[in-house]
Chains A and B, each alone.
Chain A
Amino acid sequence: MGSGKRQASGPTSHSPLVTDLLRRLAPHQVLTSLAERRNYRYDAIQFGETPLAVVLPETTADVVAAVQAARAAGVPVVGRGAASGLSGGAAPTAPGLVISFTRMTGLRIDPARREARAQAGVVTLAVSEAARPHGLIYPPDPASFRTSTIGGNLAENAGGPMCFKYGVTGDYVRALQVVDAAGEVHELTRDAYDLAGLFIGSEGTLGLMTEATLRLVPPPLVTRTLMAHFPEVGECAEAVSQAIAAGAVPSKLEFMDRACTNAVEDYLSLGLPRGAEAVLLVDTDGDDLPTVEEERALVEAACVAAGGTVRRAGTDAEAAALWQARRSVSPALGRIRPQRMNEDIAVPRSALPEVVREIRALGDASPFTVVQFGHIGDGNLHPNILFDPRHDDPHAVHDLAHRIALVALRHGGVLSGEHGIGTMKRDFMRDAVDPVTLGALWSVKRALDPAGLLNPGKVLPEEVKG
Chain B
Amino acid sequence: MNNEIRGAVPGGQGEVMAHAVDACVHCGFCLPACPTYALLGDEMDSPRGRIVLMKEVLEGALPLADASPHLDRCLGCQGCVTACPSGVPYGELITAFRGWSEPQRARSPLDRAKRSAILKILPAPKVFSVAARVGQYTKPLAPLLPAALRAPLDLLPETVPAMQPSPAVTPARGVQRGRVAFLVGCAQQALTPNFNAATLRVLARNGIEVVVPEGQGCCGAAALHTGARDEALTLVRRNLAAFHPGDYDAILSNAAGCGAGLKEYPMVLRGEHDEARARAFAAKVMDISEYLHRLLQAGELEPPLPASRPITVAYHDACHLAHAQGVRAAPRALLRFIPGVTVQEVPEGDLCCGSAGTYNLEQPELASQLGARKAKNILSTAPDLIASGNIGCHTQIQSHVRRAGSRAPVLHTVEVLDRAYRGEL
Q: Hey, which bits of chain A sit against chain B, CB under 8 A?
A: 1-3, 6-7, 31, 33-36, 38-40, 42-45, 56, 82-84, 100, 102-103, 105, 121, 123, 144, 146-148, 264, 266-267, 328, 330-335, 338-340, 389-390
Contacts and interface: CB of A to CB of B under 8 A. Distances in A.
28 contacts: A3-B3, A31-B42, A33-B66, A34-B63, A35-B70, A36-B42, A39-B44, A39-B53, A42-B26, A42-B52, A45-B26, A56-B41, A83-B28, A102-B42, A123-B32, A146-B29, A147-B28, A148-B28, A264-B85, A267-B87, A330-B27, A330-B85, A333-B25, A334-B24, A334-B85, A338-B23, A338-B25, A339-B2
Contacts of B84: 331
Contacts of B24: 334
A406 B31 CA distance: 35
B191 to A, nearest CB: 37
B138 interface: no
A3 B24 CA distance: 14
B272 interface: no
B362 interface: no
Contacts of B3: 3
Interface in B59-111: 59, 61-63, 66-67, 69-70, 84-88
Interface in B13-53: 22-29, 31-32, 41-44, 49, 52-53
Interface of B: 1-3, 22-29, 31-32, 41-44, 49, 52-53, 56, 59, 61-63, 66-67, 69-70, 84-88
A102 B39 CA distance: 11
A35 B86 contact: no
A304 to B, nearest CB: 31
B28 A335 contact: no
A36 B70 CA distance: 9
Main SS of chain A's interface residues?
loop
Given A33-B66, A39-B44, 7 more contacts: A1-B2, A39-B52, A40-B43, A100-B43, A144-B28, A331-B27, A334-B27
Contacts of B28: 44, 82-84, 144, 147-148
A9 to B, nearest CB: 12
Q: Which among B2, B53, B84 has the highest number of chain A CB atoms within 10 Å?
A: B2
A464 B142 CA distance: 72
Q: Which among B25, B44, B61, B67 has the highest number of chain A CB atoms within 10 Å?
A: B25
Nearest to A84: B28
A35 B85 contact: no
Nearest to A45: B26
Contact of A334 (B43, B56, B63, B86): B86
A335 B44 contact: no
Contacts of A330: 27, 85
Q: Which among B28, B31, B67, B70 has the highest number of chain A CB atoms within 10 Å?
A: B28
Contact of A44 (B25, B53, B62): B25
Contact of A100 (B27, B42, B52): B42
